[in-house]
Structure 1
């Protein structure tokens, strides 16, 4: 073990020496101020493409807004396309990604060709979007991409993993940030994998590489929330942090995951969960390393981790850190994090990539630290900016990080990228864009204070930079737009999900309160067990999905009165409960548990159960006849529709019974599931639409949505019958296998059934584009269907 520790420390010392040499070089440039005249010339030349006085005058008098924050993602892309700015926008965006994330030289003709091809493909995708209802970052959009690439299974795997991670992010950590960072890292690894493929890569090899890249990207990305963020947060105690840090360190030194050992206290469950996930991730990465690259991967990972630890242990109260203490660790961590990506996908050795990545890293880190300086200050994190803010008055020896930032920019443009015009253009675009965004975020007054604090010796260059921040145009980037868009999506999704769950719970309570059949309603049955049996079935812990959907569509979308449609809500639940009673009978599924309680025929007897099912069916129709506030023709139309649906649901159950032991085709399964389940969902949408006199076109779209949502629901039921548990489901599992039923799982297998479910999910989402109503609730209803565990 001592030899392994020495070897790891030696590798870190070598990396540290290289970082120290780079810092000395930058420091020398900083002292000489040679970057000032160079950058002044660069910016003077650059501004001719970004400050056009005639264009500015036209823009001033133009009423058309062109701010991405006001136009939104889709609107801004459309505006760029209308004004012929999209090509340049995409070119600088993709060029920057090739330089930053892929470590490419923009002066290379090969890179230029690759960038051009990506820009053309991306422009075609963006401008041929089917409208704002088609969301590129939606689950449906992602799954359609996965189908195209043949990686549906790995996408479903990683989505499930991301949900698990989000669910287990503890209080004290930012779940949104963790998700975003994980997705970004995963996307970066996939991007590297794409770049290693060409037109000669076979479809099978392409799918294999992408499948591995998705899982490798997730495995590597997991280190951010569950190592870096966890150790940065105040979730673990000081003792726990030290123990956890030593555990990670030992793993990277030995190349094998050691036992966690005894871990007690309030964080025990969290740490055991994280340990299990990290073990799986670490082993997957190791499995996909070539024997000759494993050592390099572990060395780079150790350098990354140790440099993070060195920074993490710094205290902002310590007034004695040297410039080397502040900058060398960030040179190491910013470069090694990207070098690891190339290692884990087994990309060919590329000395140019390694050098460019090593020199580039500090630029990116200083840019990020500048943006986050006030958040870091609140958390008392030591970065070059926070430390300078706190001690620059008493420590004249401290390097101004903003000035060093421009020193790095000059060095990158002229020494690393050999004064390439395109590289200079893209980097300056990015720098000015970053300052503009920071100014917008902080406000003009705070921005001015910051610039005064970090202003450097040459006032001419300072003024020129600030003039560019005020005046320069066409410096924005797609990745920033996408980041803002994803943040908005995540926040809106969370808000809408919480609202959806609140609505479901509130309406469920409303429905539960109106279902009970009192004796006064039907004196003829006051001494009969049928009414008691009906109420027993209705009192079960039902989800009430159908009446909930009807209430939302009827009340929130069509504006129907809540109390007036109460009979319709009862009707739907009575009909559904009747179908469950029949379904559970010995002659059919012979179920013993339903809604967490013994089935009706076990509590009473088979005859009473059959009569109760029939009673509830008739009671449902009677409830519809009491909708007296609506036009009688519409009520009659509703009753006619309801009767037909009830008859066709019987047909579906008969098909199910006849299919026992008979392998069905997918088409037959779809048909059976639609009759059994889809029609119930359709009724919950169509019945309020009939009362509201919705158009035939809208009803057609609603039926299409219900068809696919119903099949997705049934497939999820099939999967839960295989994978669920009795306590969560409220009904016995394994009944399909016991009864020899043909299901999507028995025909397609578990993996195939999941793919089929997500196909119907996508088709249902796409059907919503034909609906004029607000569809947020239906989208979350669909998400609930495929993600539920009961």
Structure 2
């Protein structure tokens, strides 16, 4: 590596380090002299007037609505709105974000106007969504909601891209790291970059330019945010060996110093597949950032990222068993990393230099870092991580020279309120709210006993001041913040989504195995005079690696939602798979799609012959009817209705396939393609939902909703099939790609192009999801079925 580049990077770090050292020295003097105590005591006494309310007999008998638990997201928002507290709650929350993340001074009229606008908009959204809340089916972070917001801005493709990226990242988070936290951090950083970009936009910006800026903001946010799980968290998690960790850190350092990502080369170690994936993703992200950097901001970007990375490394390499770290060694790196992480965002989006922002961010960063380290101190202690709190907790009895981080924390608060923000009343209100709220949350999480033990260590230096703080922690209210509520809610949703998805996949695998065991068609008991090629051929087709989605859907809806007996509906499951397999046999024939591979094996007409394939298809359709007629544990009229419906479905499928064959070489309209796709695919999904509903004698309104769901789900499935025919991998698909183009079929891709076809797929996804609100059942399985349909790779 060029020595001059290394020297420039180190020089830049030393300058930042000196600035941090000067700041730390000034804080240290204030800690030693305890100059913060009398002023903050007055501040807190004044502050508590608005936050400690004495109950009265009148309020007791007024029958006011009981306070909702903050963990119940929608109910808590409803409670805040009902009690008239929502405005103040959102105002302090948004004010804090403007101050912390955007570096804004709250005494600015312009800033206050922007905060009011955001608060009003957010309040309307929250109250509207809680009014429309339909129990556990309402999701704050639903793909439907995000996609429709993206549609309004014209950035649907960007939203699809970032959602796909987030899923890839989540699926590649190794054991030992928290996948939900990784997703949450990424989403938070994307939102943060978006927020910066929106605040920088001119009010007169054109829709097209706004669309471009929002697209870039999301991609830049993802590209920058990717460094948190795949650099910061990965190195903290101790997943890599010592040698891998060193090599990986060197690779990152070289990238930041030279401005280019080195080739990975031969990677030795057990994590080579993981590192190869991460290297590829980070290189793509880094190249995107670099390509969008202007010359005037590129230098700042690389300097700030180097300061951030190097300060993180200095901290990461500390050992909690080392009793000799100085106060400067403990605090200067966290000052550096806490302010540089926010400055990076400004250069990332090519924002002009703003000395006010840089100054306030520099002084503010350590406050946030100390608050986070306090909240995480026991997790950090368990992992052996060195933070000001873990180190003081371990060595305060042996090292009288150590600065108490809790005292430094209050010193920083005093410094921010009175020296950085010039004693502004609203700033004081927001910062003290945040400080007391942090202690209340810690106490609630750790329990009163543990909290007291912690306070005995960290708050022993100022007994009178501490008594005041503990009184406020005990009594004060209206100090909670929306971003904390949102964070907890997001983590809860992500964990719940992961659990639901695991249950979904486990259910599919379990039921699929049961169905596979029951599909084989037995031969007659008599000794045949000749072979039975039709049964052999049918079993050959049934033994293929099919997904069995249709009978699985029927089993889940029939057994889990309608309470039908498992063994009683087995004939129905077989009939669905027999009918579906028959349709595939016909579809693969030379007279139709002329396919050579199906379900990972040669198609039936190639293994046997065309005549046998045709007869086998007909044989399986009759076996399906025979199975349906064997549903002898149900009312005969109900079974007759089911058989009648099944015959109608088969008729419609034949019509759809005939239209498909007739359309070869013709350009269909989108409406024609939608109709044909429903007949080919959607109606089979409909049957798998409606047949168990018929057996359960469900209401017509419910069946109408299920049909509507199947219509949109089926078209989404077909669009995904068309996309996979262009973009898929043969080994995963189990059939050749490019057959649609070869057969001159009209597809969603040929009519709309890949980009718009993907948008159409998500449109139908959203419409299908909407329809689930009309189904009076637990629709979790169907929700994840939709997710599977649009995200599958085969």
TM-score (norm 2): 0.97
Partner of 1:677: 681
| CA distance in 2: counterparts of 1:211 and 1:478, whole angstroms | 26
Would the aligned equivalents of 2:241 and 2:269 in 1 still touch at CA under 8 Å?
no
Matched, 1:5 2:9: no
Q: Is the 8 A contact 1:525 1:531 kept in 2?
A: no
After superposition, give the CA deviation of every residue in 1:188-244 in whole Å (9 maximum; x if it has no partner).
111111111243111111110110011101111111111112222222222222222
Shift of 1:174: 2.3
TM-fit CA distance, 1:728:
1.1
Aligned: 1:757 with 2:761 = yes
The correspondence of residues 677-696 of structure 1 with structure 2, limited to 5 A, is 677-696=681-700
Q: CA deviation at 1:32?
A: 1.8
Report the counterpart of residue 38 of structure 2 in structure 1. Answer: 37
Distance in 2 (alpha carbons) for counterparts of 1:219 and 1:484: 24
Correspondence for 2:261: 257
Deviations 1:745-773 (A, max 9, x none): 11111111111111111111111000110
2:450 matches 1:449? no
Partner of 2:288: 284
Return the match for 1:499 from 496, 503, 508.
503
Deviation at 1:98, TM superposition (A): 0.7
* 3-state SS of paired residue (1:140): helix
Assess, with a 3 A threshold, how the Cα gap between structure 1 residues 339 and 56 changes in structure 2: closer, same or farther: farther
Equivalent residue number for residue 732 of structure 1: 736
Alpha-carbon distance in structure 2 between the residues aligned to 1:730 and 1:223: 36
CA offset at residue 61 of structure 1? 9.2
Quote the offset at 1:5 in angstroms. 1.3
Q: What is the CA-CA distance between 1:76 and the residue it aligns to? A: 1.1
Aligned to 2:552: 548
**Of 498, 518, 527, which aligns to 2:522?**
518
Shift in alpha-carbon separation, 1:329–1:493, aligned structure 2, 3 A: same
Bigger shift: residues 160-169 or 714-723: 160-169
- The aligned counterpart of 1:109 is 109
Between 1:255-264 and 1:60-69, the stretch displaced more is 60-69
Q: Equivalent residue for 1:529? A: 533
Structure-2 change in CA distance of 1:262 and 1:86 (3 Å): same
Partner of 1:189: 193
1:468 aligns with 2:469: no
Deviation at 1:461, TM superposition (A): 1.5
Cα distance in 2 for partners of 1:444, 1:580 equals 65
Tell me what 1:777 maps to: 781
2:773 is paired with a residue whose SS is helix
Q: Deviations over 1:167-190 (max 9, x none)?
A: 222223222222221221111111
Partner of 1:635: 639
Residue aligning to 2:229: 225
Matches of 2:592 and 2:56, distance apart in 1: 75
Equivalence for 2:484: 480
Distance between the aligned counterparts of 1:197 and 1:58, measured in 2?
47
Q: Which residue of 1 aligns with 2:270?
A: 266
Contact 1:136 1:142 in 2 (8 A): no
Contact 2:715 2:764 in 1 (8 A): yes
Once the two structures are TM-superposed, the CA of residue 65 in structure 1 deviates from its matched residue by 4.3
Q: How far is 1:74 from its partner?
A: 1.2
Provide the TM-score with structure 1 as the length reference.
0.98
Q: 1:202 to 1:525 in 2, by over 3 A?
A: farther
Of 243, 247, 255, which residue of structure 1 is paired with 2:247?
243
Residue 494 of structure 2 corresponds to residue 490 of structure 1: yes
Q: How far, CA to CA, are the matches of 1:351 and 1:228 in structure 2?
A: 28
Aligned to 2:67: 66
Q: Which moved more, 1:58-67 or 1:185-194?
A: 58-67
Indicate conservation of the 8 Å contact 2:559/2:565, yes or no: yes
Q: Deviation per CA, 1:696-743, whole angstroms, max 9, x where unpaired?
A: 111111111111111111111111111112221111111111101111
1:419 equivalent to 2:420? Answer no
Tell me whether 1:607 sits opposite 2:611 in the alignment.
Answer: yes
Gaps of 5+ in 1: none
> Match of 2:621, SS?
helix
Report the CA distance shift for 1:505/1:432 in structure 2 as closer, same or farther (over 3 A): same
After TM superposition, list the pairs within 5 Å mapping 1:660-675 onto structure 2. 660-675=664-679
Question: Per-residue CA shift, 1:67-101, capped at 9, x if unaligned?
Answer: 4345x111111111111111111111111111111
- For the Cα contact (< 8 Å) 2:194–2:214, is it kept in 1? yes
The question of whether the paired residues in 1 share the 8 Å contact of 2:68 and 2:75 is answered with no
State which drifts further: 701-710 or 656-665: 656-665
Note the aligned Cα RMSD (angstroms).
Answer: 1.7
* Alignment correspondent of 2:181: 177
Deviates more, 1:678-687 or 1:534-543: 534-543
In the alignment, the residues of structure 2 paired with residue 770 and residue 311 of structure 1 have an alpha-carbon distance, to the nearest angstrom, of: 53
What is the CA distance between 1:562 and its match in structure 2? Answer: 0.5
Preserved CA contact (<8 Å) 1:96 1:426: yes
SS of equivalent residue, structure 1 residue 540:
coil
Q: CA deviation at 1:522?
A: 10
How many angstroms does 1:272 deviate by?
1.9
Post-superposition shift, 1:134?
3.2
| Structure 1 stretch displaced more, 205-214 or 183-192 | 183-192
Tell me by how many angstroms 1:284 deviates: 0.9
Cα distance between partner residues in 1 of 2:485 and 2:314? 33
Q: Distance in 1 between matches of 2:782 and 2:58?
A: 46
Alignment of 1:94-493 (within 5 A): 94-129=94-129, 130-132=132-134, 133-493=137-497
CA distance in 2, matches of 1:101, 1:378: 30
- Asked if 2 retains the 8 angstrom alpha-carbon contact of 1:193 and 1:209, the reply is yes
Q: What is the CA deviation profile of residues 307-350 of structure 1, one whole-angstrom value per residue up to 9, with x for unaligned ones?
A: 11111111111111111111111000000000000110011221
Task: Please say if residues 578 and 612 of structure 1, whose CA atoms lie closer than 8 Å, have aligned partners that are also in contact.
Answer: yes
1:687 to 1:63, Cα distance in 2 relative to 1, 3 A: farther
1:563 is matched with 567
Could you report, residue by residue, the CA deviation over 1:251-286 in whole angstroms, capped at 9, with x for unpaired residues?
Answer: 111112222233222122222221111111111111
- Structure 1 residue aligned with 2:716: 712
C-alpha change, 1:680 and 1:164, in structure 2 (3 Å) is same
Q: 1:57, CA displacement in angstroms? A: 8.3
CA distance in 2, matches of 1:522, 1:139: 57
Residues 36-71 of structure 1, C-alpha deviation per residue, up to 9 Å, x if partnerless? 11111111111111111037984799685424345x
The answer to which of 177-186 and 388-397 deviates more is: 177-186
- Extract structure 1 runs of 4+ deviating beyond 4 A: 59-65, 521-527
Secondary structure of 2:668's partner?
coil
Q: Can you list the C-alpha shifts for 1:481-513, whole angstroms capped at 9, x where unaligned?
A: 111111111111111111111110111111111
How many angstroms apart in 2 are the aligned matches of 1:524 and 1:692?
Answer: 41
CA distance in 2, matches of 1:251, 1:513: 55
> In structure 2, what is the equivalent of residue 703 of structure 1?
707
1:320 to 1:258, Cα distance in 2 relative to 1, 3 A: same
Q: For residues 330 and 157 of structure 1, what CA distance do their matches in structure 2 show?
A: 34
Judge which range, 512-521 or 424-433, deviates more. 512-521
1:422 positional shift: 1.0
* Deviates most, 173-182 or 322-331: 173-182
CA separation of 1:338 and 1:522: change in aligned 2, threshold 3 A: farther
Contact 1:575 1:620 in 2 (8 A): yes
How many Å separate the matches in 2 of 1:769 and 1:696?
Answer: 16
- The 1:269–1:234 alpha-carbon spacing in structure 2 relative to 1, beyond 3 Å, is same
**Which of 586, 593, 599 is residue 590 of structure 2 equivalent to?**
586
SS in 1 for 2:632: coil
On the 8 A contact 1:726/1:732 being kept in 2, the answer is yes
C-alpha displacement at 1:534, in angstroms? 1.3
